[in-house]
Structure 1
Amino acid sequence: MEKTSLFGKRLKEERIKLGLNQAEAAEKCGFSREMWGKWERGENRPSSEKLFSFSKIGIDIDYVMHGRRGETAAMPSESLSAEEKELLALFRQLGSGSRKELADYAAFKLVVEKKAQTALGKVSNG
């Protein structure tokens, strides 16, 4: 089996693992379903820039490209809690605009929490 068809086979495995059909995966990454189908059939290979967009939806690029799982996927200490898995599943279902809004909100909440912790530290130490 040539490398392109292995790439396509692995890409399809990753997509199915995420519970997405071709149209859903393509939409989440900003491509047409037709283009996605060509990649899975081994008719074409995406650019490295396009590969990066795959990783944003949870596709293991190292596996798709080389047949080996990324180090983070194999580390038991990095396993997700049930709450994290639920959040990730919901996040993956959002469109790109909503994902950006959610990421911005999470960053905002983190800043607020850090400021509150700093203020508490100053009060209790001061």
Structure 2
Amino acid sequence: MNFNSLCAERIKHERTRLNLTQAQAAMICGVSREMWGKYERSKAIPGGDVLFSFAEAGADIQYILLGEVRLTANQEEKALLENYRAMDKAAQLNMQTVSATFAQANLIKNSLKDGSSE
């Protein structure tokens, strides 16, 4: 499958994820419904203005172009990242070790819980 076909599939996926009809997506992005259909059938490629408008409506443009889902952080996660970046290298290494340990412990706990429910 080529890049244009992949983008077309992802555009449709994002539109349906946002619960938009083709007509609604087209109106939001300032194009005709017919043109929007061409985007989803890989008969035309949306320009920057269309993608920008689609992103403002909630579409994940990184996913559309690269196939990688954009990770969004809540306020607590953003604060953790800001604090981590403010630390010196030794403190960052300690945080990496602590977070990996807690994550591993949680995985083990969940696997034991899942195994005991059978």
Shift of 1:18: 0.7
Q: How does 1:30-109 map to 2 (within 5 A)?
A: 30-72=30-72, 75=73, 77=74
Residue 50 of structure 1, CA deviation:
1.9
Secondary structure in 2 matching 1:14: helix
Q: Which has the larger radius of gyration?
A: 2
Q: Give the whole-Å Cα distance in 2 for the aligned partners of 1:23 and 1:64.
A: 19
Q: Distance in 2 between matches of 1:26 and 1:8?
A: 14
Q: For structure 2, which runs of at least 5 residues remain unmatched after alignment?
A: 77-118
In the TM superposition, residue 71 of structure 1 has moved relative to its aligned partner by 3.2
What is the root-mean-square deviation of aligned Cα atoms in Å? Answer: 1.6
**Structure 2 Cα separation of the partners of residues 45 and 22 of structure 1:** 15
Normalized against structure 1, the TM-score is what?
0.56
1:72-114 deviations in whole A, cap 9, x for unaligned?
2xx3x259xxxxxxxxxxxxxxxxxxxxxxxxxxxxxxxxxxx
The unaligned stretches of length 5 or more in structure 1 are 80-126
Q: Which residue of 1 aligns with 2:112?
A: none
Distance 1:20 1:68 in 2: 21
Number of residue equivalences: 76
Contact 2:30 2:50 in 1 (8 A): no
What is the percentage of aligned positions where both structures have the same residue?
46
Q: Cα gap change, 1:78/1:3 in structure 2, threshold over 3 Å: closer, same or farther?
A: farther
Instruction: Tell me the equivalent position of 2:3.
Output: 3
| Aligned amino acid, residue 57 of structure 1 | A
Check the 8 A contact 2:15/2:59 in 1, yes or no.
yes
